[in-house]
Each structure stands twice: as C-alpha cells, then as structure tokens.
Amino acid sequence: MKRTAISLADGRELIYFDERDDAVRDQPDRRPLPPPPPASQLRHDPLTDEWVALAVHRQTRTFLPPADQCPLCPSTADRLSEIPAPEYAVAVFENRFPALSERVVAEPAAITPFTAARPGQGRCEVVCFTDDHDASFAGLPPSRVRTVLDALADRTTALGELPGVEQVFCFENRGVEIGVTLHHPHGQIYAYPFVTPRTRSLLGAARRHAERTGGGNLYADVLAAERAAGERVVATNQHWTAYVPAAARWPFEVHLAPHRVVPDIPALTDPERDAFGPLYLDLLRRFDGLFDSPMPYIAAWHQAPVRVERELGHLHLQLFSVRRAADKLKYLAGSESAMGVFINDIAPERAAELLRAV
C-alpha cells in the first residue's frame, strides 16, 4: 500500500491509500475555498456526566446532492470535488464540516456554575472506500477491504497521537434511514477529547468482571460462550466470529470479533486483517439479502481508549440495522430515547437463524 498526503485548498489534509506503488498523486486542489470553521463547543451535562458537542456550522453541510455533484467522486475537468485526483482507491480527508476540530480559537466560559464548557478539540475525517459512486461496501473485493482496514489502522494510530485525543472511533453509516447525507460509499473517523459514554459503560462492566474473576477479559469470555453455544453464531473463520448478541438491542445486530484479544485495529496481524474481509463481506451480503434490498446499517468499530484501561478492551465491530421488516423501521421512541431501555421486536436467536438462511 502506498500512502500519499497532500493539502487541500483550505489547508485540510487528504491522504491517498493506493494499491499500486506507481500511483502519482500530484494533482492540486484548485477550488477557491473559505477557511475551515473553528472548533465546535463542548458542554458538560452535570446530570449525566456526559459531554455534548454544539457544532452549529454543520447545519449548512452538504445534503443528498445528485450524483453529478457528489463531493466524494473524483475531480474532472468540468467539476472539482474534495478529491483532486481523477481516480483513487481509498482516500481519507479532514471533514469540511467537522463536529470536532484542531482549530481552537478560544476557551469558552462556563455556561452556569454547574455546566462547564470547553473547545470541541479533536478531529473528524471522511474515509472514501472507492471512487465508484454507485458501489457499496458489500460489493468491494476482499483486497479493497484490506486496504480500508490498513487505512483505518493508520488513522487510528495517527489520531491517537494528537494532543488531547482520548478515543478514536471508526464507523460507516449507510442509508437515508440512518441519516446519511451523501450516497457515495464512505465512512468516518472521530477522534474524541474524552472517552465516550458507551465506552465508559463497557469499561465499567469489564472492570467489574476482571475484579470478580481475577483478571478475566469480559468480552473474550462472552465471545467464548457464544462460540460454544453456537445458536447465535452467524459465520466464523479461523480468526473471526460473527454472532448476534444474546441481549441484542437492534432487530438485526451482529458483533464481528477477532478470536485474539486486541485493543484496536492497529494491533491486528496480517493474517487477521486478511481474514476479516471475506467474513465481513459475507455478513453484509446476508444483511442485504434479508429483504432483497440494500439494508440500512451502522458499522461501528469498538476500540480501546487511547490512554486509559486499554487492557480491558477487546476490539470488535458492531453491525446493526434499524430495519425490522421489509417495510418497517425500528424507531427509538419513549423507552429507548428517554430511558435508554431498548425493546427489541425480534429474538436474537431468530435474527441469527434468518441471517444464516440467507
């Protein structure tokens, strides 16, 4: 893999990850762009001990443009995009409308004596999986999945070294039902200046399990139990297992986890990285085959925090959909949104059975 970094017209970084060593990436960005927006503001909710980002500039971000105006397609002589090159394999660049940014202008004052505020310091990046606007991740070859995984490993390492970054989150949103604003196949990476609420909850449970068991890894133990039970396992190979969690929150939810305990994507070996693609592609195609239509989904990489309690983590990919039937969606209504108590309409065992049958 060849890695080439350039600067876009407004100073943001773009990195090409090429599968050819002879790729030349010297095309300049010729757009007349305004400066990037300053960092957002984070406000601390004292009632939940959580940080909320206020990124008002994102209200004007690009929203579902037609294919001939897609900012993630390669540039042409007639239309300039975020990618200056006429073609590419995988490209990663700083989001033009970031929720978090390194461009800190000032330290905000506290909102009230109970509500602290701080700059939304961090970084948000866009990961373009292919230059084919009409493709999908499920249609990529395993070799391209490996390139994407190597790019995520590169960015996880680089972003984790930025001052103040505590957690790196890689994910893909697919489908307008999820809230996607660009149809071109892409994912995102958030570098947070704090450990997220979901990860704090996972770490707390893992910490308590380690104390009870004299050092056991909770996720590894749960994975071993699921592999032994087999009822909720969808697919497996030498290095990875895909299974529906016994307490799945979403109608169709699968965890794809390496058998070896590793904290993050950079820690995966070459054989583990090679084995990931075929199994993940199989899983995505099963999702699409459930209702014979493209499945809306979120694919979320759970990685250990950058600096704290890394020994408690166990890398895994959480893949889930809001679709519960061909013509029905799962909405986060009163119980889920207000109380955080999920109510699932499909038994995990049934979901696993349906996915295996595709």
Rounded to the nearest integer, the mean pLDDT of the chain is: 97
What residue spans define the domains of the chain? Answer: 2-194, 198-357
Residue 26: per-residue pLDDT: 95
Cα-based distances in Å from 65 to 42, 68, 170, 182: 29, 8, 24, 7
Q: Does the structural domain 198-357 have CATH classification 3.80.10.10?
A: no
Name the CATH topology of 2-194. Answer: HIT family, subunit A (3.30.428)
Residue 152: per-residue pLDDT: 98
Residue 126: per-residue pLDDT: 98
- Provide the whole-model pTM: 0.97
Residue 186 annotated to the active site:
yes
Mark the ranges of the chain whose per-residue pLDDT is less than 50. none
Residue 2: per-residue pLDDT: 97
- Is the Cβ–Cβ distance between 120 and 39 less than 8 Å? yes
Instruction: Tell me whether domains 2-194 and 198-357 share a fold.
Output: yes
Residue 165: per-residue pLDDT: 98
Q: Which of 183, 184, 186, 316 is catalytic?
A: 186
H or E element at residue 223: helix 218-229
**DSSP-derived secondary structure for 139-171:** GS-HHHHHHHHHHHHHHHHHHHTSTT--EEEEE
Residue 168: per-residue pLDDT: 98
For a pLDDT cut of 90, what percent of the chain falls above it? 99
